[in-house]
Amino acid sequence: MLNRTGRVLTRFGAELIIEDETGRRLRCTARRRLQDVVCGDHVTWTPSDSGNHVVTGIEPRRNLLERVDPRGQRRAVAANIDQVVLIIARQPPPQWPLVDRYLVAIEALEARAVIVMNKVDLEEAAPGSDDTGQMESLYRDLGYPMLHTSAATGAGLGELRARLAGLTSILLGQSGVGKSSLIKALLPDEDLRIGALSEGTGEGRHTTTAATLYHLPDGGDLIDSPGVRDFTPPPLQAEALAHGFVEFRPHLGQCRFHNCVHDREPGCAIKAAVDAGEISEPRYKSYLALKRS
Ligand code: GDP
Ligand code: ZN
């Protein structure tokens, strides 16, 4: 039996749209035991003359991005994400603890993080009186690239496109920051965006909320999941959580108690680093809030 390879572009119910090595798009079904196949998966599949192509295997995943649905269930969003683009904006003003929550999830995926401040055409909510500039340099110092864009004027989009080239990325961020506007700017041709998938398959049903992988005109792939662009990442255990705060790492393992969770324990190396100004207060507060939630 001839086994071919491909990548899952989207899934709706039991049906998958995959792209083969030549860029051709095909409708497939997955074997029963492969029910957890998701957008972004690299798969093997078997062609069939009757058109009932079957996905027969999932290649080992680099990572799996999950969310928690409103009922508290973990749900897969997409697999094999190289980079998460975290969108924040001048307005609504950034919720920095939420930024930390996303960053920790991105670190757990071992994916790259890029922070994008959108709507730079707008004035800051209260110029001079807020801490945006300070927070931006805090994240830059931690090693997170910080871009400035305006979906309205096109400012900074060239730099964003360059960041996306050659990688599989996904955009996240709270509601109203401009995610759909940025996606429209990055994938301007909506007919191409939705039509190309439907064309080869005679299907359009998936166009609602399913995560879908698109090729960007300037290179790179973008996974968009309209239903969950502002999703909540699953909670992490204290150890993984602390590891997700990159500046904690050099201090981990140096607390008095080996099972220290860096909260109220005496002899905590993380708290000592906060007191010494090596770890910033807002980041430590975010850690505590996430740990206690
Ligand atoms: P989403 O909820 O993150 O997908 O945000 P949307 O893309 O729907 O944008 C929310 C609102 O912000 C809309 O009214 C957009 O027109 C507006 N918006 C998005 N990007 C920009 C921008 O760069 N500048 C300005 N001034 N408005 C923007
Ligand atoms: Zn500690």
The answer to whether 121 is a known ligand-binding residue is: yes
Residues 104, 291: contact at Cβ < 8 Å?
no
Instruction: Check residue 173 and give left, alpha or beta (phi > 0: left; psi -120 to 50: alpha).
Output: left
Q: Considering all CA atoms of the chain, what is the largest pairwise distance in Å, rounded to the nearest integer? A: 69
Residues 6+ apart with CB under 8 A from 170: 65, 77, 78, 81, 83, 84, 85, 222, 223, 224, 225
pLDDT in tens, 47-83: 988 888 999 999 999 999 999 888 989 989 999 999 9
- Residues around ion ligand 2, judged by CB within 5 A, are 255, 260, 262, 268, 270
- Does residue 206 register a pLDDT over 70? no
In this prediction, residue 129 carries a pLDDT of: 53
Residue closest via CA to ligand 1's atom 10 equals 176
In this prediction, residue 131 carries a pLDDT of: 83
Does the model's pTM come out above 0.90?
yes
The answer to whether 77 is a known ligand-binding residue is: no
Centroid of chain to Cα 100:
13
- The closest-lying atom of ligand 1 relative to the alpha carbon of residue 150 is 23
Confidence of residue 231 (pLDDT cuts 50, 70, 90): confident
Ligand 1 surroundings by CB, under 6 angstroms = 118-119, 121-122, 150-152, 173, 175-181
The answer to whether 254 is a known ligand-binding residue is: no
CA of 177 from ligand 1 middle (Å) equals 6
Which domains does the chain possess?
Answer: 4-58 (2.40.50.140), 64-228 (3.40.50.300), 238-292 (1.10.40.50)
pLDDT in tens, 78-110: 999 999 999 999 999 999 999 999 999 999 999
Closest CA to 169 of 207, 220, 104, 126: 220
- Does residue 130 register a pLDDT over 80? no
CA of 231 from ligand 1 middle (Å) equals 18
- With both helix axes pointing from N to C terminus, report the angle between 96-109 and 281-292 in degrees, rounded to the nearest 10: 70
